[in-house]
Amino acid sequence: MATRSLLFLNSSLSTSFPSPSLLGLHRGRRLAMSGAAPIRLSMSGAEAEAGDVRKEDIVIVGAGIAGLATAVSLHRLGVRTVVLEQAESLRTGGTSLTFFKNGWRVLDAIGVGNLLRPRFLEIQGITVKADDGRELRSFIFKDEDESQEVRALERSVLLETLADQLPKDTIKFSAKLAKAETSQSTETLLELTNGAKLSAKIAIGCDGIRSLVAKSMGFSEPKYVGHCAFRGLGLFPNGHSYKPMVNYIYGRGVRAGYVPITPTKVYWFICFNSSTPGPKITDPTVLKKQATELVNNWSSELLKIIDLTPDDTIIKSPLVDRWLWPAISPPAFVGKTVLVGDAWHPMTPNLGQGACCALEDAVVLARKVASVLNSGSTTMEDALKSYESERWPRIFPMTVRANFMGSLLQWDNSTVCSVRNNVVIPKLVRLGPMLEHTNFDCEPL
Ligand SMILES: Cc1cc2nc3c(=O)[nH]c(=O)nc-3n(C[C@H](O)[C@H](O)[C@H](O)COP(=O)(O)OP(=O)(O)OC[C@H]3O[C@@H](n4cnc5c(N)ncnc54)[C@H](O)[C@@H]3O)c2cc1C
């Protein structure tokens, strides 16, 4: 961390953030718009006049989990934001995300935990099977940790619930960032694909794994880790009879799983080795066929769930990550531009922690930013530095661990897989230590 802190020296040279009174902001009040007219983000390129730059105080790029959770957290602390989203609406398709107790602590802290809990089944534990159907081991979460809480949430429901907490018009849809110009000392200039330009006193990049904001700060593209995942949501209109357990099935170079998320929906995934990410396929018939072929001789349950998957929920993703090497990776902020979630730390989904960590980032950052704006207790640079120092020791090891876990589970050597199935899983694995990373506490905002 000593070498890392050297990276901060440059950024701490920039000017301090205007005082709360300059921004018209006091505790409990929303950040004033500094008299700026609302941004016409939907204007066409021809309409956008060159040099016409709208001024905003806090701009969040991306209305995914990180962006919305950051906006909700700041809103609860009395700070107004504008959220730019490239899509025409919130992402409605997609599948589900497993949230462990750290994710739930954040959802509670920002006031949406109890809106979501009644809609999703609480998952009791994990059953691990071999690809021949043999049960290798079963774990119950609460036997290991009474405070553990696991539910798989539908992404679309989570996004809608978060968006519902924000004042109307906070999210600007069809507002795709084309270019970000970060600066150590001045405001961040954001240019949209339709020609509109914004200048932000604080810019928060929540634009996911291909983040343009991160790119403008010197981050490299995330690295493909050698496996891809199919995911889908099986629909049982008359209800299913699965126990609320995560079911993992381990084969050679292929692993799969399914988990009931509601009384009528079951999430499934298949993870497989592939030397390249392969071509982008969007045709759901082809995706379903490819997924089925990978597990054709496996559990008939899994095949049934895949078969009952509506087209709009089946997706294939190449798995990527980016390691935040100390002294090598750029810092999480430049001037007053900062990254949250996958934009900063894309990680493989092997620990089910990408979205949970994005939520954690959001509340930690919001508290620090709001404390500067509301009380002026420190400079914004110090607040962003403190955000990075607090979050980096948590997310870097998690990213590395998730990567190693994926490599171990994706082994296709028959001897290694036999040792895994006959010795490691039945006799050596302990769930408690494996879930220690889900310990994270935060006070309500
Ligand atoms: C196979 C798989 C399984 C996973 N399972 C889990 C799990 O079980 N539990 C878990 O916690 N995590 C899981 N994750 C990780 C999780 O999906 C991510 O960590 C999470 O979605 C990150 O949220 P985000 O908001 O940072 O990014 P995103 O969800 O990618 O959101 C980014 C947003 O920014 C917008 N955007 C992008 N570029 C621009 C632009 N130029 N201009 C404007 N808007 C833009 C996008 O449209 C999007 O709305 C999984 C990931 C994968 C691939």
pLDDT higher than threshold 60 for residue 323: yes
Q: Is the CB of 154 under 6 A from ligand 1?
A: no
**Ligand 1 centroid vs 14 CA: distance in angstroms?**
31
pLDDT at 311 over 60: yes
Q: What is the torsion angle, in degrees rounded to the nearest 10, for the CA atoms of residue 192, residue 367, residue 156 and residue 163?
A: -70
What pLDDT is stored for residue 13 in this prediction?
Answer: 26
* β-bridge pairing 96-99 and 245-250: unpaired
Helices 354-375 and 65-76 pack at an angle, to 10 degrees, of 30
* pLDDT score of 320 more than 50: yes
List the residue whose alpha carbon is closest to atom 31 of ligand 1. 64
pLDDT for 164 equals 97
Quick check: 298 pLDDT over 70?
yes
The pLDDT, as a whole number, for residue 7 is 29
Amino acid at 124: Q
Per the prediction, the chain carries an average pLDDT of: 88
204 within ligand 1 shell (Cβ under 6 A):
no
Gap between the Cα atoms of 129 and 136, Å rounded: 5
In angstroms, the CA 171 to CA 174 distance is: 10
| Higher per-residue pLDDT: 12 or 388 | 388
Q: Measured in angstroms, how far is the CA atom of residue 204 from the centroid of ligand 1?
A: 15
Adjacent-strand bridge partners of 256 = 249, 270
Average pLDDT over residues 367-377: 92
Per-residue confidence (pLDDT) for residue 185, from 0 to 100: 80
The residue whose CA has the least distance to atom 38 of ligand 1 is 207
Please give the backbone phi and psi of residue 49, each rounded to the nearest 5 degrees, phi first: -80, 140
Same topology between domain 2-92+158-222+323-402 and domain 120-154+225-320+410-438: no
pLDDT at residue 180 is higher than 60: yes
Mean pLDDT for 245-259 is 95
The ranges assigned to domains in the chain are: 2-92+158-222+323-402, 120-154+225-320+410-438
Any idea how long the chain is? 445
Residue 44 pLDDT: 43
The whole-angstrom separation of Cα 280 and Cα 316 is 8
Instruction: Check if 177 has its Cβ closer than 6 Å to any atom of ligand 1.
Output: yes
Which CATH fold would you assign to the domain 120-154+225-320+410-438?
D-Amino Acid Oxidase; Chain A, domain 2 (3.30.9)
Q: Is the CB of 77 under 6 A from ligand 1?
A: no
Instruction: Among 3.40.50.300, 3.50.50.60, 3.90.1150.10, 2.40.50.100, name the CATH number for the domain at 2-92+158-222+323-402.
Output: 3.50.50.60
Angstrom distance (rounded) from CA 240 to CA 224: 36
Which 8-state DSSP code applies to residue 109?
Answer: H
* Ligand 1 atom at minimal distance to the Cα of residue 98: 8
Q: Residue 307: its pLDDT value, please?
A: 95
261 lines ligand 1 (CB under 6 A): no
21-79 pLDDT tens trace: 323 333 333 333 333 333 445 434 444 445 689 999 999 999 999 999 999 999 999 99
pLDDT at res. 19: 33
Looking at residue 33, its amino acid is: M
pLDDT given at position 35: 32
What's the average model confidence in pLDDT over 165-185? 94
For a ligand 1 pocket test, name from 176, 190, 207 the mutation site with the most ligand atoms within 8 angstroms of its C-beta. Answer: 207
Residue 345 in contact with residue 324, Cβ under 8 Å?
yes
Cα of 65 from ligand 1 centre, angstroms:
7
Ligand 1 atom 15: the closest Cα is on which residue?
A: 354
Question: Distance from the CA of 132 to the center of ligand 1, in angstroms?
Answer: 34
Query: Does pLDDT of 12 surpass 80?
Result: no
| pLDDT digits 0-9 by tens, 401-431 | 999 999 988 989 999 999 999 999 999 988 8
Q: How confident is the model at residue 299 (pLDDT cuts 50, 70, 90)?
A: confident
Q: Among 10-19, 64-73, 153-162, which is the least confidently predicted range?
A: 10-19
Indicate which residue's Cα is closest to atom 50 of ligand 1. Answer: 349
CA 376 – ligand 1 centroid, Å: 32
Position 297 scores a pLDDT of 87
| pLDDT for the residue 41 | 52
On whether the CB atoms of residues 154 and 233 are closer than 8 A, the answer is: yes
Dihedral Cα 31, 37, 42, 48, nearest 10 deg: -130
Q: pLDDT category, 2, cuts 50, 70, 90?
A: very low
Please give the structure tokens belonging to residue 432.
């408690």
- Residue 93 contacts residue 312 (beta carbons within 8 Å): yes
Rounded percentage of the chain residues whose pLDDT exceeds 90: 78
Among 45-54, 187-196, 249-258, 366-375, which stretch is predicted with the lowest mean pLDDT?
Answer: 45-54
Ligand 1: does its nearest atom lie under 6 Å from the Cβ of 66? yes
Does 85 contact ligand 1 (Cβ within 6 A)?
Answer: yes
Q: Mutate which of 85, 92, 95, 210 to test ligand 1's pocket (most atoms within 8 Å of Cβ)?
A: 85
Q: Does residue 373 have its Cβ closer than 6 Å to ligand 1?
A: no
Q: What pLDDT is recorded for position 51?
A: 63
pLDDT above 50 (res 201):
yes
Q: Is 59 near ligand 1, meaning CB less than 6 Å away?
A: no
Residue 15 predicted with pLDDT over 50: no
